[in-house]
Structure 1
Amino acid sequence: MSRYAVTNPATGQVEERFETFTDEQVAAAVDAADEAYRTWGRATTIEQRATLMRKAVASYRDQQQELATIINHEMGKTMDEALVEVEFSAEILEYYADHAAEFLADEPIDRAAAGTAFIRHLPIGPLVGVMPWNYPYYQVARFAGPNLMLGNTIILKHASLCPKSSAAMERIFLEAGFPKGAFVNVYATNEQIAKVIADPRVRGVSLTGSERAGKAIAQEAGAALKKVVCELGGNDAFIVMSTDDLDAAVEAGANARYENSGQICNGAKRFIIIDSLYDEFLKRFIKVSKERKLAPLCSASAADGLAAQVQAAIDDGAKAVLGGTEHDGAYYPATILTDIPAGSAARRTEFFGPVAQFYRVSSEDEAIAVANDSPYGLGSYVFTTDSEQGLRFADRLESGMTYINESGADSAELPFGGVKNSGFGREMGSLGIREFTNYKLVTEAAR
């Protein structure tokens, strides 16, 4: 039986199945990606690729409702959030169509010796993208957009929950005029993808997923001497030291925790609140949490796994002041844990769902210590009325991103990525188009 299927989390019903590719089909996809790279990626100009990309952008927007409905059925995202995701994906593709020429312009070097020198940014070849289910379009757009504009080609191995959205993206790029193989979707097994990564024609791998998956893919890529970018889990701290508007800070925190029903790598998961604001912040956060209408998690098994994590935390001594372990199928209630003991594994574990942990601190140093006591280092949030304090936190927090007095700040021009066990490399912004680039030095002697 195929692993690839649309199983609606709201009903638990399998709506559509997709056959796993044969080895021959996977090999043909790699052949096509290599051919497209050599005959299209290396042979076209940025302007020519931008023309095709803008056609794809128009298709995303023209088909926004259809595309949103697909992921609503695949992984349970609300229609409102699904529509926003489709538009954001279009914005990312459009951003690279508009800015690739600027980002990839030759960089002159002031030589010590006579003559000239510059860095030229060139593609490196076919790339494998191993993508997750929680943002089916957005995660792919931030990988595929910059690399197609650079001239690399894409072999997409999407999550088994997302076979229909991955096929829709392949169709959109083909209809926009990208050649066969420029963006190819494969319903492959992990074993087949390992062989693809080992293929000498494939030159890089980008993975967004779990820490376990990241270690496996990085090991396979390293063994084959392939460049790899990993965006893995997160256990982001949301720190409140002072605020002129407590309700706004609470709302920002709730949005950062409950977006996508909490299934978000850089969502706020650990709320670290200064003692003077802790009780009132928690009180208001509980009220806001009770009012949130949450979509189902991606599956009933995901909800069961989250319940097991919550129960383990409670067994360690944590208190569930809202929610707990009771859930209905894939639907999981907003849950808030307090008084988590210092030795509990929950403090260092990512809860991938609508579960918030609360910590009371008495100083800036203590807030930093609690925040950095994590194997992860993706994002972080700091609310303070002291701008200098906010910048101190940004310098001291062990994370790839720090958002001061705001949440939900993701945008196409802002680089995304983490440190520690949250991975390495960056996506989006000017950095995102340079991860899989051949920085070719070109020199010419003086005449």
Structure 2
Amino acid sequence: MKSINPATEEVLATYKEDDTGTVYAQLDTAREAFESWSERSVSSRERLLANVADVLRENIDKYAKQITIEVGKPLDQAVSEIEKCVWVCNYYSQHSSEYLQNEHIGTEPGAKTYVSYEPLGAILAIMPWNYPFWQVFRFAAPHITSGNVAILKHSPNVFGCAQAIEDIFEEAGYPDGVFTSVQVSVNQVSDIIEDDRVRAVTLTGSTRAGKEVATISGRELKPTVFELGGSDPFVVLDDAPVERAAEVGATARTQNAGQSCIAAKRFIVHETVFDEFLERLTTEFKALTIGDPTDVETDVGPLAREDLLETLHDQVMTSVDAGATLHLGGEPLDQSGYFYPPTILVDVPDETPAATEELFGPVATVFKVESEREALRIANDTQYGLGASVWTTNTDRGESVAQELEAGNVFVNQLVKSDPRVPFSGVKDSGYGTELSRHGIHEFVNKKTIWIEGQGE
């Protein structure tokens, strides 16, 4: 298994897959660690999580560089990713005790009744490469602090990031086995899920992967949380602030080279502002600098792998062959690295990849609609339901539209983003379960009812 710099195609490292004996030993260590870790006070776990935030902050440039060389993310965006990891660690180091305290419920006179939130055990986290630190920390911060232990199965192209994260927890003072990274391929995942030492599973990745893991986990009756693919609509109504919408829309589509499940992908624009929006979006795209992700002037780096580049280009060309108009871009750069330029497709027919599939790269499909009702129809006409964005100068109207959009996260006059303070989830083929906030920390705990009555006289 290799890690390849997507900007230069240089092999950074080659990793040997952990054999079955090594994995079983790691699972044993995790189970043993859980016995004592789960007995610690929440405040003790909070203090260690604050240490993690300190380690991240003190080494932010080193970790950002690791992201950049393995994923191709522009350096300033990699720095922002680490800063967000600091934020989520600080958030749960300050609020976990509140979220996990016993919840008292009134029942019968003289009875003491409450809900106790108790950890489950070892949680397998199958994480993606596109946000190699953030996706891990938004899982680990709440669920380790709630008393569980974590087993990370990261993507092979970011094993360097996985090792760095494991080292961070060790440096912060965590006991051995509380956070463990395993170097395994997808072929070994089913065996790990089926192992009795693993009590729950979370996955961030494709819908296909989610369905496969859900099948295995369901057979084993193990709780799961899935954050899967997305084809987020970006709805621009007739009264939208067009200049601002185009500016934010360009960022929402091209940050991390468009490799984000919650990136704006389908721009659904009212006909009265369509021409102006398309012109402004085109201008914004043309102003973006694509190139070396270590250069501070770069806005768009390469795609993370060669196969991702090939898949994206095939989706674009198949859509064009079926009648879509290539308004901008559409051809991989003729140079080393997996670079694809910011691209815009218009006049996209139904049933083409650009209309129905997730395009994981800097490609915007722009649809013209005649009404708000048509915009909602197209926005909801998808198997996905992760995020959505609505643009209007009338916030009451925006809220009304937001309530009709079939998505787990809807933002009015803002791009879709995850925030530790509010829950994050998807519907339809975008997954289920909740991450972040008070709601997220309760996904992998036993909500135990305790009822106590005296014996009377």
Query: Within the alignment, does 1:248 sit opposite 2:241 as a pair?
Result: no
Contact 2:64 2:82 in 1 (8 A): yes
User: What residue is the counterpart of 1:282 in the other structure?
Assistant: 278
User: What residue is the counterpart of 2:313 in the other structure?
Assistant: 307
AA partner of residue 402 (structure 1): V
Contact 2:312 2:361 in 1 (8 A): yes
**How far 1:6 moved relative to its partner?**
2.2
Query: Within the alignment, does 1:406 sit opposite 2:403 as a pair?
Result: no
Closer, same or farther: CA 357–132 of 1 in aligned 2, 3 Å:
same
Contact 1:6 1:161 in 2 (8 A): yes
Query: Within the alignment, does 1:238 sit opposite 2:234 as a pair?
Result: yes
User: What residue is the counterpart of 1:372 in the other structure?
Assistant: 380
Contact 1:262 1:353 in 2 (8 A): yes
User: What residue is the counterpart of 2:293 in the other structure?
Assistant: none
AA partner of residue 3 (structure 2): V
Residues of 2 paired with 1:158 and 1:186: CA distance?
A: 8
User: What residue is the counterpart of 1:202 in the other structure?
Assistant: 198
| 1:305-354 Cα shifts (integer Å, max 9, x gaps) | 11000011011100010011343340000110110112334311000000
AA partner of residue 9 (structure 1): P
**How far 1:223 moved relative to its partner?**
1.1
Residues of 1 paired with 2:413 and 2:67: CA distance?
A: 31
AA partner of residue 158 (structure 1): H
**How far 1:128 moved relative to its partner?**
0.2
AA partner of residue 299 (structure 1): R
Q: Secondary structure at the match of 1:155?
A: strand
Contact 1:157 1:187 in 2 (8 A): yes
User: What residue is the counterpart of 1:25 in the other structure?
Assistant: 22
Contact 1:311 1:325 in 2 (8 A): no
**How far 1:71 moved relative to its partner?**
1.1
1:397 to 392, 400, 405: 405
**1:16-165 mapped onto 2 (5 Å cutoff):** 16-40=13-37, 42-112=38-108, 114-165=110-161
Contact 2:241 2:393 in 1 (8 A): no
Residues of 1 paired with 2:93 and 2:258: CA distance?
A: 31
User: What residue is the counterpart of 1:356 in the other structure?
Assistant: 364
Residues of 2 paired with 1:24 and 1:354: CA distance?
A: 42
Residues of 2 paired with 1:82 and 1:345: CA distance?
A: 30
**How far 1:301 moved relative to its partner?**
2.1
Residues of 2 paired with 1:381 and 1:90: CA distance?
A: 26
Query: Within the alignment, does 1:227 sit opposite 2:233 as a pair?
Result: no
Q: Secondary structure at the match of 1:203?
A: strand
Residues of 1 paired with 2:269 and 2:240: CA distance?
A: 15
Q: Secondary structure at the match of 1:399?
A: coil
Residues of 1 paired with 2:106 and 2:370: CA distance?
A: 52
AA partner of residue 252 (structure 2): A
Q: Secondary structure at the match of 1:421?
A: helix
Identity %: 39
Closer, same or farther: CA 408–182 of 1 in aligned 2, 3 Å:
same
Query: Within the alignment, does 1:261 sit opposite 2:253 as a pair?
Result: no
RMSD over equivalenced CA pairs, Å: 1.2
User: What residue is the counterpart of 2:297 in the other structure?
Assistant: none
Where does structure 1 lack aligned partners over 5 or more consecutive residues?
Answer: none
Where does structure 2 lack aligned partners over 5 or more consecutive residues?
Answer: 290-299
Contact 1:300 1:331 in 2 (8 A): no
Closer, same or farther: CA 408–222 of 1 in aligned 2, 3 Å:
closer
Residues of 2 paired with 1:114 and 1:47: CA distance?
A: 31
Residues of 2 paired with 1:109 and 1:69: CA distance?
A: 49
Contact 2:240 2:391 in 1 (8 A): no
AA partner of residue 289 (structure 1): F
Contact 1:301 1:330 in 2 (8 A): no
Paired residues in the alignment total 443
AA partner of residue 142 (structure 1): R
Residues of 1 paired with 2:405 and 2:146: CA distance?
A: 33
Residues of 2 paired with 1:261 and 1:268: CA distance?
A: 12
| 1:139-164 Cα shifts (integer Å, max 9, x gaps) | 00110110111000000000011111
Q: Secondary structure at the match of 2:251?
A: helix
Q: Which moved more, 1:415-424 or 1:108-117?
A: 108-117
**How far 1:114 moved relative to its partner?**
4.2
Contact 1:240 1:272 in 2 (8 A): yes
| 1:375-405 Cα shifts (integer Å, max 9, x gaps) | 0000000011222211221211110010001
User: What residue is the counterpart of 1:317 in the other structure?
Assistant: 323
Residues of 2 paired with 1:166 and 1:242: CA distance?
A: 46
**How far 1:112 moved relative to its partner?**
4.2
Residues of 2 paired with 1:317 and 1:241: CA distance?
A: 25
AA partner of residue 122 (structure 2): P
AA partner of residue 16 (structure 2): E
Contact 1:255 1:408 in 2 (8 A): no
User: What residue is the counterpart of 2:162 in the other structure?
Assistant: 166
**How far 1:364 moved relative to its partner?**
1.3
User: What residue is the counterpart of 2:9 in the other structure?
Assistant: 12
User: What residue is the counterpart of 2:296 in the other structure?
Assistant: none
User: What residue is the counterpart of 1:295 in the other structure?
Assistant: 301
| 1:16-43 Cα shifts (integer Å, max 9, x gaps) | 1122111111001111111111121x21
AA partner of residue 18 (structure 2): F
Q: Secondary structure at the match of 2:422?
A: coil
User: What residue is the counterpart of 2:447 in the other structure?
Assistant: 439
| 1:147-188 Cα shifts (integer Å, max 9, x gaps) | 111000000000011111100111110111111110000001
Q: Secondary structure at the match of 1:377?
A: coil
Runs of 4+ in structure 1 off by over 4 angstroms are none
**How far 1:414 moved relative to its partner?**
2.0
